[in-house]
Structure 1
Amino acid sequence: MSTTTTAVQETPLTAADRCDRCGSKAYLRVTLASGGELLFCAHHAKEHAEALAKVAARIQDETHLLS
């Protein structure tokens, strides 16, 4: 029996990716365990971090690009 592991290539967020809450530039992509995807600016990502961690299958955080 063999096992294949596939690395997930993260696509960088661009200026076209906008926060689902306020429309600002998104710095966080949350892939939900249920299969959907949400985008958040740094402010809303921080505000909802606890709830997002409970439903996320994967979180792509690019907030380091702010400094």
Structure 2
Amino acid sequence: MIVTATTTDPLTAADRCDRCGAQAYVRVVMPSGQLLFCAHHAREHAPKFTALATHVQDETDRLLAEHGAGAGAVR
């Protein structure tokens, strides 16, 4: 889902990943709008959106603070 209004306000629990609906921790702003991603999908799609993005707001460091040391573990 692409949203045409862009913002860099902090992401909240109401912000959901455009791929899976999980809580979004990354906002990718592009000339055509923005995409929101959970940490997993942000890592998966980073090679694609990095070249197109005008701004990437990455709040994945909040996962450690909110959910503990196991939250960022790669499985």
Shorter-chain TM-score category? 0.7 to 0.9
> Cα RMSD over matched residues?
1.2
When Rg is computed on C-alpha atoms for both structures, the one with the higher figure is 1
Q: How does 1:1-67 map onto structure 2 within 5 Å?
A: 10-32=8-30, 34-67=31-64
Describe the SS at the equivalent of 2:43. Answer: helix
Describe the SS at the equivalent of 2:62. Answer: helix
Structure 2 gaps, min length 5: 1-6, 65-75
TM-score, normalization: structure 2?
A: 0.73
- Identity rate, percent: 59
Give, in whole Å, the separation in 1 of the partners of 2:18 and 2:32.
Answer: 16
Q: How many residues align structurally?
A: 58
Structure 1 gaps, min length 5: 1-8
Residues 1-53 of structure 1: CA deviation (Å, up to 9, x unaligned):
xxxxxxxx831000000000000000000000x23100000000000011110
4+ long deviations beyond 2 Å: none
Describe the SS at the equivalent of 2:42. Answer: helix
